[in-house]
Structure 1
Amino acid sequence: MNFDLKEIFTASMILFAVIDIIGSIPIIIDLRQKVGHIQSEKASIVAAILMVVFLFVGKKILNLIGIDVNSFAVAGSFIIFFLAIEMILGIQLYKDDEPETAAVVPLAFPLIAGAGTMTSILSLRAEYHTINIVIAILINIIFVYIVLKSSKRIEKILGGQGINVIRKIFGVILLAIAVKLFATNITGLF
């Protein structure tokens, strides 16, 4: 067993930055307002399963269907870009005719376990032992669950104006992340 606290800490911090659940609070609050209820447990469990499965078979799946990691990351950057545009401009691009709850889409995927997260997991796999990455994923999922479960309380603390300000700020940050993910991976396509 290759249990290493330093690897766990580093992998946790990398995943924390990429998942950016704090930056996603405005999106989570928006979703809760649209659908009325967020299934925190289901979203967290599905995201954890997606990440762990992708850790073990992600590259093989992408290769099997003829997609390289760079293409996957560029596609993910478009999703993040459109989420950012929604936040900044206050428009709705993603429409679900009759959403009942928010759990798997768009919470578990692409918000929590999106292309950026999956690409990061593949990068971590090249540097760290698998057990440490799995522990880092679980640490992040626990934090994600706490934020999802507390979204109503967070909304009350921030208020309507606070949420709007944070939505715009994090929309710009999310846009920057999308541009960086795109720029980093587009050269690998040519």
Structure 2
Amino acid sequence: MSDYISNLVIFFVVVDPPGLVPLFIALTRGFEARQKRMIAVRGTAIAFIVLVFFAYFGKLVLDTLTISMPAFRIAGGALLFWIAFEMLFGKRSDRKGRDTDDALTDEDAHDLAVFPLAVPLIAGPGAITSILLLMDRSGATVVGQIGVLGAAATVIGGVTLILLGADVVRRMLGRTVIQTVSRVLGIVLAALAAQTILSGITSVYPPH
């Protein structure tokens, strides 16, 4: 039980479910309520599948492709930079500010659920690195692996519930506050991207 709680805390901190709410609101602006629910459920389900895959095959894949974890962090940080740029300068809002004749489709919702919601916002470099390290720490014991995957499933389940209630938060805050928060979060996300890239670089070239 203590290992499960420890794993739970690690995944909660890395995934940061409360911090995903304003990001989700900003990213899904312009979608219908039905599409937002689909994005939330599909995105979290895909994120969990990605984490399970990396839990069992991640090290093998990275080793086979000769990709180091620092390189993985740098690539993930670059993707986050792209999202942050679009949020900061309203590119996503412009793209979603279409008229009703050119409404956002279910295909757009599917694309958003995969990228950037599932990867890299939920199952990002931090979450993938964490599950790789925790599975390695748990060894080959079934109980240990269930503890890691159970903690990941608990956090992802919580993310699903939180995102499904994101519209309630949006109505409470209003359009102006949401747009302001979206811009501020763009800066925060850019800083997180920079930190992710720096972590990758310092892993290869540690400071003296």
TM over 0.5: yes
Question: What is the deviation of 1:16?
Answer: 1.7
Q: Does residue 15 of the first structure (1) align with residue 25 of the second (2)?
A: no
Take 1:116 and 1:78, find their aligned partners in 2: how far apart are those partners? Answer: 14
In the other structure, the counterpart of 1:113 is 123
In the other structure, the counterpart of 2:45 is 45
Question: What is the deviation of 1:104?
Answer: 2.0
CA RMSD across the alignment: 2.4
Question: What is the deviation of 1:168?
Answer: 3.1
Higher percent of residues as helix: 2
Question: What is the deviation of 1:86?
Answer: 2.4
Residues 40-68 of structure 1: CA deviation (Å, up to 9, x unaligned): 22222211111111111111111112211
Residues 135-174 of structure 1: CA deviation (Å, up to 9, x unaligned): 1111111111112211211111111122123223333332
Q: Check the 8 A contact 1:24/1:170 in 2, yes or no.
A: no
- The AA in structure 1 aligned to 2:115 is V
Q: Does residue 155 of the first structure (1) align with residue 177 of the second (2)?
A: no
Which of 123, 128, 135 matches 2:133? 123
Gaps of at least 5 residues in structure 2 are 97-103, 139-143
Question: What is the deviation of 1:111?
Answer: 1.7
Q: Check the 8 A contact 2:14/2:127 in 1, yes or no.
A: yes
Gaps of at least 5 residues in structure 1 are none
- May I ask how many residue pairs the two structures share in their alignment? 185
- The AA in structure 2 aligned to 1:127 is R
In the other structure, the counterpart of 2:191 is 176
In the other structure, the counterpart of 1:28 is 24
Q: Check the 8 A contact 1:44/1:145 in 2, yes or no.
A: yes
TM-score, length-scaled by structure 2: 0.78
In the other structure, the counterpart of 2:85 is 85
TM-score, length-scaled by structure 1: 0.84
